Structures are given as structure tokens and as C-alpha cells.
Amino acid sequence: VTGPLDRLVRALTRLPGIGQKTATRLAFHILRAPEEQADELSRAVHEVRTQIRLCSVCSDLTDQDPCAICTDARRDGALLCVVSQPQDVLALDRTGTFRGRYHVLHGVLNPLEGVGPEELKIHQLLRRFEAREIQEVVLATSPSVEGDATAMYLHRLLSPMGLRVTRIASGIPTGGEIEYADGITLSRALTARREM
């Protein structure tokens, strides 16, 4: 076996979490799959690189500007959810629980790594409040040191504008065991306890 198959195995091993064995298995699958399946994969890889850019409104990834969520009239324009990365929009929107719009920061504040407010899409975020349609901002960065710091920073920035600023809940995940939860999660869950 030479040439093209080796090159495909090599290209696949560059993907995260794909080792030599998995790459070989995938390559042989691609070799034997129906022609249109391989064509589709090849085309999808190419198109994702050539057609995807950032939405000029929300900074999410999109192939049309503004993106499908920003132009969707059925969305609640009074609700804006701020997330750190495009994957988070996917994960949150898949739940079907949130029907507002999103804003993607493309990172979280991290002074040690030189990420300040200028490096995030905060300018673009502030511009969105000019239309006075948005009433509540849900800060949905991860409950990590940097995610919390970013939420805190945005809270200070946005509260004076007369907006309702909320933070996504953090606590013991559904199905998680109290016994095995880490201390920080447990103490957060206790602090954030609610009336039943």
C-alpha cells in the first residue's frame, strides 16, 4: 500500500484524538464507503474553510451575514446569551430551552495569557445595545476562574446600562453524585440553593 492511502492516514492522524490505528480504520472505511459519502466529506472539509466567516452582528461562525440566528424573526430579541466560543452556541441551542439570540466573545479574559477586553468581541457586544431591544443578558461563560472573571467584568460593564444581567446556573450536574462532586462545585451548589 502506497501513496494516497498513506497520505489519507497521515492527514487523519493530525486530527485531535485520532491515532494511527483509528486513522487506518477510518481511511479504509473512506476507501470502501459509497462514492457520494467520500465526496461529501472531501467537499465539506473544503467548504467549511472557504465559506465560513464571523457574523458581523454576533461574531458566531456563519456562511451568511448576518447569521441565521440573528436574522431569525421568531427569536426573542429581548434576550441575549453571551458565550465564549461558537461550540457553546451549538450546545446551548441544541437544548431548545433558550430562544433568544447569542453573542460570541471568542475567548475569556486571561491576563496571564495576554487576553484583555480588547481581544474579545466586546466592542461588537456593546454596539448591540444601541437598538434598545435587548432587556436581559445571560452570561453563559464556563464556571471557571477565567469564565467567572469575564462574567464579572461584563456584569460591571452592562449593569449601569439598565439591563438585567444574569449568570447561567452552576451546581451539581443532573445525574451527578453528591459523594463524588468536587469541593468547589459543592460549595457553589450550597451557596446557590433555592426555595423548593
Contacts with a copy of itself, residue ranges (CB under 8 A): 1-5, 7-8, 10-12, 14-18, 22, 24-31, 33, 35, 37-49, 51-52, 60-64, 67-68, 86-87, 89-90
Closer Cβ to a copy of itself, 54 or 157, answer by number: 54
For residue 61, what are the β-bridge partners? Answer: 54
Closer Cβ to a copy of itself, 12 or 137, answer by number: 12
* Minimum CB–partner distance for residue 67 and a copy of itself (Å): 7
* Minimum CB–partner distance for residue 99 and a copy of itself (Å): 16
Closer Cβ to a copy of itself, 38 or 172, answer by number: 38
Q: How far is CA 48 from the centre of its chain?
A: 17
- CA 60, 61, 66, 69 dihedral sign is negative
Closest by Cα among 84, 81, 14, 1 to 45: 14
For residue 139, what are the β-bridge partners? Answer: 82, 167
> Do residues 129 and 121 touch, judged by C-beta distance below 8 A?
no
Phi, psi at residue 110, to the nearest 5°?
-155, 85
* Minimum CB–partner distance for residue 80 and a copy of itself (Å): 17
For residue 79, what are the β-bridge partners? Answer: 136
* Minimum CB–partner distance for residue 19 and a copy of itself (Å): 12
- Please tell me the distance from the alpha carbon of residue 195 to that of residue 179, in angstroms, as a whole number: 22
* Minimum CB–partner distance for residue 91 and a copy of itself (Å): 9
Closer Cβ to a copy of itself, 90 or 161, answer by number: 90
